[in-house]
Amino acid sequence: MRILIAEDDPVSRTVLRRALDELGHEVTEAADGSEAWEAFQKSPAEMVVTDWMMPVMDGPTLCRHIREVKAPHYVYVVFLSILDGKSRYLEAMDAGADDFLHKPLDKEQLKARLRVAERILGLHREINQLRGALRFCPGCKSYCDDHGHWEPIEKLLEPALHTEITSRICPDCETRLARAGAD
């Protein structure tokens, strides 16, 4: 997964980057929210892990900026902060965060949260694929994917539904076909 880190403390940033590297993720680092926002605009990461208190732009502001833009995919945002308490947690969620971790970094908790993020991002990808089914041809029952290619609807639905699709003619169409055949 492509992950952007926004952390002003060099030691915390290095510890987090190493943990993410060990787990096999592609990591981009930023020393503050403003630098992270610039990096995100150039190449939107799938996940952003941000500190709360940073110079120039804080974590909640960064999170709100990310939520305001139309990224090509859903972006999972996690706060990693020394700040604690219900009000901070609620403020992070109001800014658009998906999760909240406390410093110091607990690698096992981070690993568990990354698995959750991967599941959520996978569901978002499936939803976007199914949205592609909204552009379909009623004649041949094909759908147009995001690249403008026409594919059989079964190719989209079978993996998403985890079942084989079988065609059947509904009673109304059966009646219409019978009438057309009699003419």
Residues 48 and 115 in one domain: yes
Same domain, 138 and 87: no
89 shares a domain with 10: yes
- Are 51 and 141 members of one domain? no
How deeply is 8 buried, as exposed, middle or buried, from its count of CB atoms within 10 A (0-12, 13-18, 19+)?
middle
How far apart are alpha carbons 119 and 99 in whole angstroms?
A: 14
Say whether both 69 and 115 belong to one domain.
yes
pLDDT at 135 over 80: no
Contact 154, 165 (CB under 8 A): yes
Residues 124 and 147 in one domain: no
Q: Under a CB-based contact definition with an 8 Å cutoff, are residues 91 and 60 in contact?
A: yes
Residue 182 has pLDDT above 80, yes or no: no
Instruction: For residues 139 and 59, state if they share a domain.
Output: no
Q: The domain that contains 98 carries what CATH number?
A: 3.40.50.2300
Q: How many structural domains compose the chain?
A: 2
- Return the pLDDT at 132: 59
Contact 136, 144 (CB under 8 A): yes
**Per-residue pLDDT reduced to its tens digit, 49-72:** 999 999 999 999 999 999 999 888
Same structural domain, 152 and 112: no
Structure tokens at 79: 């706060």
Stated pTM of the model: 0.73
Domain termination residue (choose one: 86, 105, 129): 129
pLDDT of residue 145: 74
Distance CA 25, CA 2 (A): 6
Tens digits of residue pLDDT in 89-115: 999 999 999 999 999 999 999 999 999
In which domain, by residue range, is 146 found? 134-182
Q: Is the predicted pLDDT of residue 149 greater than 70, yes or no? A: yes
Q: What is the mean pLDDT of residues 146-157?
A: 78
Does 21 have pLDDT greater than 70?
yes
